[in-house]
């Protein structure tokens, strides 16, 4: 019984009223029906043969579904479109699509866009359900429209508070509750004036972003201002950071090791380049690791992984990287060798040096392994008496090597 033994049905808040007779029969004929308490309640009139509620963690129930392959007819109930931030994609990682029959309903995002009169293709769509709300941070640009699914009744207030703190308090903020059902409700306020209570746990917030004069709008290119990072002086400065990210050349889905992370600025900007990117910040100093965690959350990449320890020993159990940046500790025995060994084929290693000792090591590596060696000199205009003059920063020697 491997051919289409699994049916996945997306249902809305209107329950059975929104389903066709054929879809109802697919649910009723299943020998086992999986779903959340809310989903199972919506179809209780069908007198289901066996019901199983989702367990926590969800992977436990996914394993249960997979074990029934070839043994029983199974139906999984989902919200709206099961393949749009839904359980469908999770199941598809275990079960071939040819063994599934999928029935979709309008997703909450589609319903929200319709209620707002927004063209869905022009809207930024995010799921913050079970995820840090800081993920919305990179998407806050003046004039952008955002739809974000929250985790519960507290979510809208938390998102509104984040907007106010980041300088976007003038944004129009709409809470859309229980879309498609009898308890559907919409209310719009200004984010800074958010005062809603009694919100339905199933909600989406629609944000028409307005950036205030003091808003910190994250740029779409590398070069976040240095003052946006909490640091103790150990930071790759803005201009050098932009050149470093260019040399690291992030590609979709890749992992970066940021060794000697300092403030975490390079790893953070790596992750800001695309949501598919990940990074591990390696730092021996615990106080700096706490700063890195705060910086990552404030700048919208709370998923930055922190690893405390001294390289190269701490690198041994880390997943293999696609790119490595060495900003500190490069002169320690074995660090560069370990980095070169760990890189995947085609990976990039970028090392920045400010000391003569590190520069000498990079010159040696350049002679032995090739790559490119670049001297970077930045000067900034500063007051000089009643006039202005150029004050040079310490020069950086950058070695870039491709494996």
Q: In this model, does residue 190 exceed pLDDT 60?
A: yes
Domains of the chain: 6-105 (3.40.1010.10), 109-208 (3.30.950.10), 226-402 (3.40.50.150)
Q: Report pLDDT digits (tens) over 295-352.
A: 999 999 999 999 999 999 999 999 999 999 998 767 778 899 999 999 999 999 999 9
Span 159-169, average pLDDT: 97
Given pLDDT bands bounded at 50, 70 and 90, which one contains residue 379? very high
Mean pLDDT of all residues in 46-73? 92
The sign of the torsion formed by the CA atoms of 400, 401, 402, 403 equals negative
> Considering only CA atoms, which of 394, 323, 307, 319 is closest in space to residue 359?
394
Residue 192: per-residue pLDDT:
97
Residue 47: pLDDT band by 50, 70, 90 thresholds?
A: confident
**pLDDT at position 274 over 90:** yes
Tell me what pLDDT residue 327 has: 86
At residue 2, the pLDDT reads: 56
What's residue 332's pLDDT? 78
CA distance 273 to 283: 22
> Which tokens is 56 given?
């926590």
CA dist., res. 123 & res. 28, Å (int): 37
Mean pLDDT score of the chain: 94
Peptide bond into 57 cis (omega under 30): yes
Considering only CA atoms, which of 347, 349, 355 is closest in space to residue 331? Answer: 355
What tokens appear for 307 in the block?
Answer: 């690893």
pLDDT at 286 over 90: yes
pLDDT score, position 70: 84
Range with the poorest average pLDDT among 51-60, 132-141, 284-293: 51-60
Determine what percent of the chain is predicted with pLDDT higher than 70: 99
- Per-residue pLDDT of 109-155, as tens digits, reads 999 999 999 999 999 999 999 999 999 999 999 999 999 999 999 99
């Amino acid at each position: 019984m491997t051919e289409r033994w699994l049916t996945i049905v997306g249902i809305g808040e209107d329950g059975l009223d929104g389903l066709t007779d054929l879809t109802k029969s697919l649910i009723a004929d299943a020998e086992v029906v999986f779903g959340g308490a809310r989903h199972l309640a919506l179809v209780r009139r069908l007198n289901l043969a066996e019901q199983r509620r989702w367990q926590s963690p969800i992977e436990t129930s996914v394993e249960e579904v997979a074990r029934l392959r070839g043994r029983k007819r199974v139906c999984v109930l989902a919200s709206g479109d099961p393949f749009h931030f839904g359980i469908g994609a999770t199941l598809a990682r275990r079960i071939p699509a040819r063994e599934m029959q999928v029935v979709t309903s309008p997703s909450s995002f589609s319903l929200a866009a319709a209620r707002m009169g927004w063209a869905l293709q022009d809207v930024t769509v995010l799921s913050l359900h079970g995820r840090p709300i800081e993920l919305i941070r990179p998407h806050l640009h003046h004039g952008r429209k955002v739809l974000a699914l929250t985790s519960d009744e507290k979510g809208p207030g938390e998102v509104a508070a984040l907007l106010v703190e980041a300088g976007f308090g003038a944004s129009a903020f709409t809470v859309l509750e229980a879309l498609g059902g009898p308890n559907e409700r919409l209310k719009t306020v200004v984010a800074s004036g958010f005062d809603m209570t009694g919100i339905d746990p199933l909600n989406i917030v629609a944000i028409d972003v307005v950036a205030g004069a003091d808003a910190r709008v994250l740029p779409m290119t590398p070069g976040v201002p240095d003052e946006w990072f909490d640091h103790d002086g150990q930071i790759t400065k803005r201009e050098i950071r932009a050149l470093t990210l260019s040399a690291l050349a992030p590609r979709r889905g890749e992992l970066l090791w940021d060794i000697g992370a300092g403030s975490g600025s390079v790893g953070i900007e790596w992750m800001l380049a695309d949501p598919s990117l990940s990074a591990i910040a390696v730092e021996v100093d615990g106080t700096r690791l706490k700063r890195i965690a705060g910086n990552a959350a404030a700048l919208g990449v709370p998923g930055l992984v922190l690893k405390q320890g001294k390289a190269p020993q701490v690198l041994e159990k880390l997943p293999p990287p696609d790119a490595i940046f060495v900003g500190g500790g490069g002169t320690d025995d074995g660090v560069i060798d370990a980095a070169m060994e760990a890189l995947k084929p085609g990976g990039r290693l970028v090392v920045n040096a400010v000391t003569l000792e590190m520069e000498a090591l990079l010159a040696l590596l350049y002679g032995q392994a090739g790559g490119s060696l670049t001297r970077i000199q930045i000067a900034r205009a500063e007051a000089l008496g009643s006039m202005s003059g150029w004050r040079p920063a310490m020069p950086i020697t950058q070695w870039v090597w491709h494996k």
